[in-house]
Amino acid sequence: MPDKKAPEPPSSELTSEKLYLRRRELIKNAGLFLGTAGVVGGGLYLLGMKRTRPMDAFVPDGGGLASLPATEPGGGGAYDTDEARTPFEDVTTYNNFYEFGLDKNDPARNAHALKARPWTVAIDGEVHKPQTVDIDQLISWSPLEERVYRMRCVEAWSMVIPWLGLPLGELLKRVEPTSRAKYVAFTTLMDPEQMPGLKRPVLDWPYVEGLRLDEALHPLTLMAVGLYGKTLPNQNGAPLRLVVPWKYGFKGIKSIVRITLTEQQPPTTWNIASPHEYGFYANVNPEVDHPRWSQATERRIGEHRRRPTLPFNGYAEQVASLYAGMNLRENY
Amino acid sequence: MASPPLPWLKPAVLVGGLAPLALLLLQGAQGSLGPNVIEAVLNETGLLALVFLVASLACTPLKLLFGWTWPVRVRKLVGLMAFTYAVLHFLTYAVADQGLALRQILEDITRRKFIAVGFIALVLLVPLAATSTNAAVRRMGFPAWQRLHRLVYVAAALGVVHFLWRVKKDATEPLIYGAVLTLLLGIRAVEAVRKRRRAREAVRPA
């Protein structure tokens, strides 16, 4: 009977027991190496990388925003800068709007919950015609103008943004301020359902801001309802925000629900939060540093080299006279 | 030859620890670090330096509390990673952010508290990194080497203060690092007190 058993390999070809065990250990060690490296790398990612998550998916779809006709096309007007405009993607994914979170990309991520229509704005205080007006009606009060302005954040970065809006002065004319009106106070919406950032007491909510009446009436001061020819994206302060180009960005209060004319200087949010760092005026001033960092230079978003910051953000010719005789170091 | 115990540990910590740097370079090359690239790199490298610094101080407490010895084996590596990220953080500030404007940098370091404490923390880490080899321990003698390396407590505390003074308003994150650091140093302090008491009792006649 023939032997059916397969021939055994010669003993010279057998893997030695020692080598066999080493191979198993090698595989085990490789597994432990990969697992540990993954845990270390993953842990570090979770601790830090959320600030640099890709934002492509959060750039507003231009088609989803209504077009707004600018009666006065920007770019050539007396107040427009001809500097390169900051791309739409950057304007809409990098900004501060603490009502939606503290990171620069949080507003773009979280502002979808904001309902910018229907929306009403209450205008009251020292005016002859107090009223609550629908945003679309308010927009029709004056022809929309495009204004290409520099925007300088107190954190020493800057942008160039083509806003669309109406001069605040035109709006105020409608409600006829009384002779006692000396200041204009603004209030942002406070609804934790729409604004998740309100759940944390980072600032004294609601966000409030204010201007002296002559600052509010200055032709540069704009109530913006759009940018880049479209309705304002939620993260940029829809449906109505203040733009005061010679002041630090935090003066530009967003998603406004109330405008009150007052006799006394109104409280302002960042001044309440840290009075020695943020004043009521907050005029851009390279000579007066923030207590913790220099204001002499800024980084224009999209550029790498810092550039010098200009007094009144480059609008000194138009607005310096508003502050004649004032000590700008004390009135920061 | 017997393989060293846990041969995978150090390479794994090295690779995992450098992974964020690789990702940062990749994202930088792709242009997906957001509109303010320099700020993003500054924030990431600074945070990583602090995380590694605090982690290097967790090794001894982990041994004291749980009897684990493996963290101590990677302590040197973790400390050197902290130093590496701290240097990258400073270089990003000095070269990319300030364009090597020395006058401006000096003014920042001398006039701005938050930059000053960060700079001091980095300077304190230099002698520690320079004496991180076994040869250095032998040359200096262990007690002297250990005394020198206690500077890391100061560097880590200054790192937390640097973070705390930098944030505009919300101090939650720096305070978490501060709390973890306080806990880790507290465990050491308790152990030091115990050790001293034991030593005293040992010399006391029975």
| ipTM value for the complex | 0.87
Nearest residue of B to residue A36 by CA position?
B12
pLDDT tens, residue by residue, A253-288: 999 999 999 999 999 999 999 999 999 999 999 999
In whole angstroms, give the CA distance from residue A282 to residue A289. Answer: 11
Does A331 have pLDDT greater than 50?
yes
pLDDT at A216: 98
Alpha carbons within 13 A on the beta-carbon side of B131: 20
Does B13 have pLDDT greater than 50?
yes
pLDDT at A66: 80
Does B1 have pLDDT greater than 50?
no
Q: How many CB pairs lie under 8 A apart between chains A and B?
A: 124
Quick one: CA dihedral B147, B152, B153, B154, positive or negative?
Answer: positive
Does B175 touch chain A if contact means CB atoms closer than 8 Å?
no
Locate all alpha helices (DSSP H) within A176-306, ordered by sequence: 213-217, 269-273
DSSP state of A180: T
User: Which one of A28, A51, A52, A199 makes the best mutation probe of the B interface by having the most chain B beta carbons within 10 Å?
Assistant: A52
Does A71 have pLDDT greater than 70?
no
Does B8 have pLDDT greater than 70?
yes
A15 token code pair: 């893997």
**Average pLDDT rounded to a whole number, residues A303-322:** 96
A24 token code pair: 């198993």
DSSP A93-157: HS---GGG-SSTTHHHHHGGG---SS-EEEEEESBSS-EEEEHHHHHTTS--EEEEEEEE-TTSE
pLDDT at B14: 97
Reference B59, options B73, B44, B45; nearest CA is: B73
pLDDT at A2: 55
Contact criterion met (CB < 8 Å) for A155 and B168: yes
Alpha carbons within 13 A on the beta-carbon side of A309: 28
pLDDT at A304: 86
Give the pLDDT band of residue A329 (cuts 50, 70, 90): very high
| Residue B4 belongs to a domain | no
| Residue B3 belongs to a domain | no
- Which residues of B fall within a CB distance of 8 Å from A157? 36, 39
Q: Which residues contact A159 (CB under 8 A, 6 or more apart)?
A: A86, A90, A91, A150, A151, A300, A301
Neighbouring-strand partners of residue A188: A256
Share of chain A above pLDDT 70, in %: 94
pLDDT at B206: 55
Contact criterion met (CB < 8 Å) for A157 and B20: no
Neighbouring-strand partners of residue A297: A308
- Which residues of A fall within a CB distance of 8 Å from B3? 25
Does B4 have pLDDT greater than 80?
no
| Nearest-neighbour CA in chain A from B191: distance (Å) | 28
DSSP state of A158: E
| Residue B1 belongs to a domain | no
Task: Report the domain count for chain B.
Answer: 1
DSSP A26-78: HHHHHHHHHHHHHHHHHHHHHHHGGGG---GGGS--GGGSPB---SB-SSSST
Reference A185, options A295, A111, A269; nearest CA is: A269
Contact criterion met (CB < 8 Å) for B44 and A25: no
In whole angstroms, give the CA distance from residue A143 to residue A73. Answer: 11
In whole angstroms, give the CA distance from residue B194 to residue B197. Answer: 5
Does A76 have pLDDT greater than 90?
no
| Residue B192 belongs to a domain | yes
B162 token code pair: 């640097």
Torsion of the alpha carbons at A214, A217, A218 and A220, rounded to the nearest 10: 140
In which region does residue A240 sit, left (phi positive, over 0), alpha (psi from -120 to 50) or beta (all else)?
beta
Give the pLDDT band of residue B72 (cuts 50, 70, 90): very high
Contact criterion met (CB < 8 Å) for B20 and A49: yes
Nearest residue of B to residue A45 by CA position?
B20
Contact criterion met (CB < 8 Å) for A34 and B17: no
Judging by beta carbons within 10 Å of its beta carbon (0-12, 13-18, 19+), is residue A182 exposed, middle or buried?
A: middle
pLDDT tens, residue by residue, B47-58: 999 999 999 999
- Which residues of B fall within a CB distance of 8 Å from A297? 104
Domain residues for the domain of B193 are: 9-203
A18 token code pair: 């020692």
Give the range among A30-44, A60-74, A139-153 with minimum mean pLDDT: A60-74
Distance of CA A222 to the CA centre of its chain: 17
DSSP state of A186: E
Residue A14 carries which side chain, given as an amino acid letter? L
**Average pLDDT rounded to a whole number, residues B68-91:** 96
pLDDT at A56: 77
Q: How many other CB atoms are there within 10 angstroms of residue B3's CB atom? A: 10
In whole angstroms, give the CA distance from residue A192 to residue B169. Answer: 20
Longest dimension (CA), chain A: 124
pLDDT tens, residue by residue, A154-178: 999 999 999 999 999 999 999 999 9
| Residue B2 belongs to a domain | no
User: Which one of A23, A25, A40 makes the best mutation probe of the B interface by having the most chain B beta carbons within 10 Å?
Assistant: A40
In whole angstroms, give the CA distance from residue A219 to residue A170. Answer: 9
Contact criterion met (CB < 8 Å) for A51 and B108: no
Residues within 8 A of A (CB atoms), B 86-105 only: 96-99, 104
In which region does residue A92 sit, left (phi positive, over 0), alpha (psi from -120 to 50) or beta (all else)?
alpha
| Residue B109 belongs to a domain | yes
Share of chain B above pLDDT 70, in %: 97
Q: How many other CB atoms are there within 10 angstroms of residue A10's CB atom? A: 7
B204 token code pair: 């006391």
Give the pLDDT band of residue A72 (cuts 50, 70, 90): low
Most confident range (mean pLDDT) of A2-11, A44-53, B30-39 is B30-39
B192 token code pair: 């030091």
Q: How many other CB atoms are there within 10 angstroms of residue A307's CB atom? A: 11
**Total residues found in chain B within this entry:** 206
Contact criterion met (CB < 8 Å) for B15 and A202: no
pLDDT at A19: 81
Residues within 8 A of A (CB atoms), B 127-156 only: none
User: Which of A25, A33, A299 comes nearest B11 by C-beta?
Assistant: A33
Longest dimension (CA), chain B: 72
Does B31 touch chain A if contact means CB atoms closer than 8 Å?
no
In whole angstroms, give the CA distance from residue A134 to residue A257. Answer: 10
| Residue B159 belongs to a domain | yes
A226 token code pair: 């759009």
